[in-house]
Structure 1
Amino acid sequence: MRVLAASDPGSSDRANEDWFYADEHLVAVLDGATARTDTGCLHGVSWYARRLGETSIELVRDPSTSLSNALAIAISRVADEHRSTCDLGHPGTPSAGVGLVRFQPGGLDYLVLGDVSLAVDQGGRLTVITDDRVSRTAAAERAEADRHPIGSPGKAAALLAMKHAELAARNVPGGYWIAEADPAVVQQALTGFIPVDAQTRVAVLSDGAARAVTLGLLDWPNTLDLLGAQGPTALIARVRQAERQDPSAIRWRRNKQSDDATAIYVDGFSPS
């Protein structure tokens, strides 16, 4: 079994708000949500993503604990870690998208909550699990932000308005769901079981790495091909090259020139 992973911050002057873990049993990618407003938290998004990831991995090692229950307990434990110092009821309290995969003989269990993507190719039969609810919120504000080039005053103002609209839709019916302080959000996660065999290929990507697909650079089969042939670092490099070619986000509309990018690729499963 081959497990390859890489993560790259979107900016050299900011901490990576992605967090990942990968071995032959478990894969986790957490994508901390960009804070454009006050958060009411002393620790920040990177800390939250790391602590939620570390705590989740401890819990999902127990095969008798479902991924949903593990994440719910992890959310509660991390909330307890900073409840006394931080305002967990603040509208901007740190949050993170979560992708969890647990391998077992003959298959994998998965959980996706927020903007993390899971792609599974079973010998040419492709399954992509993407929680796109966040990208469907604040549609008018998102379109307004897309009108402006990165670095312009209009872009900054539009992004702030978009963030306020997103926060108003966070973890409410009709909006989108993401891990923050309330463990009940796990009820909205996308979960399931997918069989695997010797031909299966698996990728888990944060949305910064999934730009390879969302910007139209590659389709999902070609993304898996690149991951298998050259590894996650090459995929992230492909995204970074496109971002450098379009620094103002005119050709490829986006909120940040470069986003934190994490990619994990797994293949070489033993026959069940």
Structure 2
Amino acid sequence: MPTIQIAEQAGVGSNGDPRPTEDHVLTLDDAVLLLDGATAPSPEQPPGGWYAGLLGKQLADELGARPDDDLGAVLARAIAEVAKTHDLRPGSSPSSTVAMLRWNAERVDALVLADSPIVAFGRSGHEVLADGRIAALRAAGKLYTGADVRARRNAADGFWVAEADPAAAGEALRRSWPRDEIETVLLASDGVAVAVDDYGLFDWHDVRALARAQGLHAVLEAVRVAERGDPHGARWPRAKRHDDQALVLVEFAN
């Protein structure tokens, strides 16, 4: 069984005030789940962290009941069950990213929906499984307002995220690797991945090296130090001064 380390840290709300993290990490005997609930666009909606917690638990239940099922099918069932149980409707419900890692004696499977990447390190290098649709839309100026986000969420010309429509699971990105070729896997919410993708503080090899040498919280704190040096988002424009952070390090013994 691999060794699993987890580090989490809450960010702040859009108003700058502290609030509980909306990231959720769950571990099973043969899987790790990381979900990042999206901040609700209006106070009438339940928070994204509430939804991410429910969806994470449902995913864990589904994986426990059907450990060999296709990860996309597992995600679709979980989305449908949470939506049914809590009467959620597409387009007017909270949402969450999903990163799923599962392993057995033969292979390692991964699934990513929205911007919580998985990075697998092996004998021949590393592979980043990342859903770049949100970043591409932001770079093109197409997610400037909350209305833009709502219009393009789970739309053919937009981005896909877990919400109330199980069809979103079919848009997830997936990879499988032979088990004996994988040494380490990282899972990260975008509050950590931003250090690589936007801030340019590290590459993923640096993240792994720092996590191994000084612990996972050293990675999280390095991001915070950079953000405290840019408190008003002049260098790195962002909706919140500090986002929630979640980082998981899975070390396979080969």
Instruction: Give the alignment's TM-score, normalised by structure 2.
Output: 0.90
Change in Cα spacing, 1:118 to 1:207, as seen in structure 2 (3 Å) is same
CA contact (8 A) 1:122 1:200 kept: yes
CA contact (8 A) 2:183 2:251 kept: yes
User: Would you identify which runs of 4 or more consecutive aligned residues in structure 1 move more than 4 Å?
Assistant: none
Please show how residues 18-167 of structure 1 align to structure 2 within 5 Å: 18-38=23-43, 40-41=44-45, 43-61=46-64, 62-83=66-87, 88-89=89-90, 91-123=91-123, 125-137=125-137, 139-140=140-141, 162-167=145-150
> What does residue 8 of structure 2 align with?
7
Amino acid at match of 1:208: G
- Cα distance in 2 between the residues matched to 1:103 and 1:191: 13
Give secondary structure in 1 for the equivalent of 2:121: strand
- Give unpaired runs (5+ residues) of structure 2: none
Q: CA deviation at 1:7?
A: 1.1
CA contact (8 A) 2:120 2:182 kept: no
CA contact (8 A) 1:37 1:92 kept: no
CA contact (8 A) 1:60 1:66 kept: no
Q: CA deviation at 1:92?
A: 4.2
Change in Cα spacing, 1:131 to 1:181, as seen in structure 2 (3 Å) is same
- Give unpaired runs (5+ residues) of structure 1: 143-160
- Cα distance in 2 between the residues matched to 1:137 and 1:231: 33
Q: CA deviation at 1:54?
A: 0.8
Percent identity reads 34
Residue 201 (structure 1) aligned with residue 184 (structure 2): yes
Counting matched residue pairs gives: 246
Q: CA deviation at 1:105?
A: 1.2
- Cα distance in 1 between the residues matched to 2:35 and 2:75: 12
> What does residue 179 of structure 1 align with?
162
For the aligned residues, what is the CA RMSD? 1.9
- Cα distance in 1 between the residues matched to 2:186 and 2:74: 21
Amino acid at match of 2:132: D
Give secondary structure in 1 for the equivalent of 2:191: coil
Give secondary structure in 2 for the equivalent of 1:96: coil
Q: CA deviation at 1:10?
A: 0.5
Q: Which moved more, 1:230-239 or 1:44-53?
A: 230-239
Instruction: Give the alignment's TM-score, normalised by structure 1.
Output: 0.84
Q: CA deviation at 1:131?
A: 0.4
- Cα distance in 1 between the residues matched to 2:92 and 2:239: 18
Amino acid at match of 1:2: T
> What does residue 238 of structure 2 align with?
254
Give secondary structure in 2 for the equivalent of 1:128: strand
Amino acid at match of 1:113: L
